[in-house]
Structures are given as C-alpha cells and as structure tokens.
Amino acid sequence: MPTAEKTLDEILNLAAAHFKVPREKLSPDDDFFKTLGIDSLQALDLLTKLENHFRVELPDYELQGVTDFRRLAGRIQARL
Amino acid sequence: MTKALSHKGKAMSFECQDGVIELVLHRAPCNEIGSLSLDELEVFARAIESLHEPVHAAILYSDMKAGFCAGADLRELYERSRAMEKEESAKGVREFLERIHHVLNVIDDAEMTTIAAVHGVVFGGGFELALACDLIIADKTARFAFPELRLGLIPGFGGIPRLKRDIGNAVVRDLLLTGRSFNTMKAQQIGLVSQVVAEGEALRAARAAAAQLKKFDHQTAVTAKHFIKPIPTEELTREIDIFCELFSRPAVQAGLKKFVESTDAQPYLP
C-alpha cells in the first residue's frame, strides 16, 4: 500500500494533468474547487479519474465537505 | 438501403442510415430533459413507431463534454411549479411523466436493438434514458446516479423498475437510498454496463456493435429482445403515482428551491 504522502502526491499530479494546471501551483491544503476552478460536475470527473487510478470505490457522499487535497487523499487512503 | 429519416432539433438530432439510427443529444449544459427535450424525444418516438422498413439498431449518445445527460431540467420544473397553483402544477407533472414514460416505453420496446453510448454524467433522467436501451456501452469517464431523494422525490422516468429488471435489489437500494454515484467499472461489475471502453470510444464501440447486429435476422433479434426484456408496466404505472404523491409535498419545493438557488460548489454531491 502506498504511503499517505505518496497518495497525496499522486492526486496532485493527476489533478494538475487532468485540469492542465502547473503542478507547482497546487498545494496539499488548497481548496481544489478554487485552485482548479472547477464545479461539482468536474469534481465528480476528478473522482472518477482517482477511482480508476487507485482502483478504489469511493462513495461521493464521503466527499461532502471535503475541499482540500489532503483530506481527499485521506479518504482515498482509507480505501486502499 | 433504408429510407432516410432525420430530424435536426435544438436539443437533439437523429438520422437513419443503412439500418442504424443515431440520436445525438446536444443541449447545453448537459442535455437536461425539460419540455423542449421531451417534445423532441416524442418526435424520435414517433419516428420509431412509424418505421416501414426494418431498422437494426439505434444508438443514443451525447455531444456534450459534461456527459450523456444530467437528468430532468430542475430549473424548469421549479419555475413552472412555482408559477402554477398546486393542483395545476400536480396535473402538469403527471402529464409530463406520462409523456416521458410513453417515449421511454417506445424506446424500450422498439423493434431494433437500442444502444446507449455514454460518457461523463449519467444522472437521474439521463440514467433512466440509458436504462430504456438494450445495451449500455460506457467509457471510463461515465458516472451513474439517482440523486432524486435529496429533492424529496424518487426517480420518475421509470428508473427503479428498469434498474430492478437489470440488477440486484441490494444495489438498487444503495443507489436509490444514498443518492451516491458510481463509476463505469462498478457499473460493469454489477451487470449494468455491457462494455467498458477508453475515454471517447463509446460511440465507436456502439457503431461496431450495430454493424454486428445487422448480420443477424431482424425478426429473430426482435423476438429474442422481447422474450428477455419485458417492460415492467405495472411498476412503471405505480412509479408515476408515487412520484406525484411525493411531488405535492412542500419538502419537494424546498428541495428544488435549494438546488436551483444553490451557490454551493457541490450541488451535485449527495
């Protein structure tokens, strides 16, 4: 199982690539809605990418209130 | 060669070529189904009902980047119901549901193999449109959900009876009662999606399937389809009644208002 830090790093890389944002502009505690400039449908698109990448299933109600990469990584880590 | 059959509308267009109809949904932002889409779906249904020559397949897909279809047009539903007296609004909702049920029953029962080629958002009424089709081919970006409970409603376009027809009741309950969404891989695991393809490949795969279908005797294919895929008529009728009962409650207006007026970044999360 990857470490929590590695999971977080992979999420940041994936988000940067998917939404075409320079990786160095993303930080673990950023509000990803604001930093990536995405709405809830795009957030679901990101969730699908992450589920496919990590091969996990993450019910989206577990993401209610989760807006930063670090907590998102925590939710994914709990399913690995 | 099959006689040309086509329609170019504001919400969708379709064309029949060599025994295959392709219906493309193209109403921004994500093919929300309101009165305009319903009118055009009825044009499609009438075209299917009045075919004089065998058509082997119909492919339904979306040109919108966000996905196949985000479901009912909740803004229109809210504005219309707000502008009407309670009884008039209830009557309007029932009429809308009866019309959309007729369209989906025509697609469900069509004398051809119907294929939903989906990507991105496949929510609510969009999911129900896909469920009326015989095959669902999904790319890896697709996400399925019935978020209606958060509005105080159940799916109203035939979703629960058709989902129950295809998959186990336990998964139906999970989807319905939690309002959660799930991805293509999960959809294939539970037997909802028959083929999973790479991003952007669903239409190509659907066309390949349609080309394969044309090799077989049309009447045999229609007979096989009707044998294994009966329409759950009784439950569909009951669904309309339940939806209308729920719709009359103040909680629904409050739920619709909350959604329509939301500035929350996560209105699509349950």
A44–B178 C-beta distance less than 8 A: no
Span B145-176, pLDDT tens digits: 999 988 889 999 999 999 999 998 899 999 99
**Are the CB atoms for B182 and B110 separated by under 8 Å?**
no
- Walk across the sheet containing B181-183 and list its strands: B67-69, B121-123, B143-145, B181-183
Which chain B residues contact residue A64 at CB under 8 A?
266, 269-270
B88 has pLDDT over 90: no
Residue of A14, A18, A41 to mutate, testing the B interface (most B Cβ within 10 Å of its Cβ): A41
Average pLDDT over residues A28-43: 88
B121–A67 C-beta distance less than 8 A: no
Helix B74-83 crosses helix B86-109 at what angle (to 10 degrees)? 150
Q: Which two tokens stand for residue B192?
A: 């909802």
What's the CATH code of the domain at A61?
A: 1.10.1200.10
Number of domains in chain B: 1
Interface check for B149 against chain A (CB to CB < 8 A): the answer is no
pTM of the predicted model as reported, rounded to 2 decimal places: 0.91
Please report whether residue B270 resides in a domain. no
Interface check for B188 against chain A (CB to CB < 8 A): the answer is no
Nearest by CB to residue B180, choosing from A40, A41, A60, is A60
Number of domains in chain A: 1
A33–B121 C-beta distance less than 8 A: no
Predicted confidence band of residue A4 (pLDDT cuts 50, 70, 90): confident
- Walk across the sheet containing B12-17 and list its strands: B5-8, B12-17, B20-25, B57-62, B113-118, B135-139, B195-197
Which chain B residues contact residue A33 at CB under 8 A?
265-266
Please report whether residue B123 resides in a domain. yes
Please report whether residue B265 resides in a domain. no
Interface predicted TM-score of the whole assembly (ipTM), two decimals: 0.78
Please report whether residue B119 resides in a domain. yes
Strands B143-145 and B121-123: parallel
Domain with A26, as residue range(s), is: 4-77
Q: How many CA atoms lie within 13 A of B23 on its CB side?
A: 27
pLDDT of residue B260: 82
Q: How far is A14 from chain B (nearest CA, A)?
A: 14
Please report whether residue B266 resides in a domain. no
Q: Which two tokens stand for residue B73?
A: 């047009």
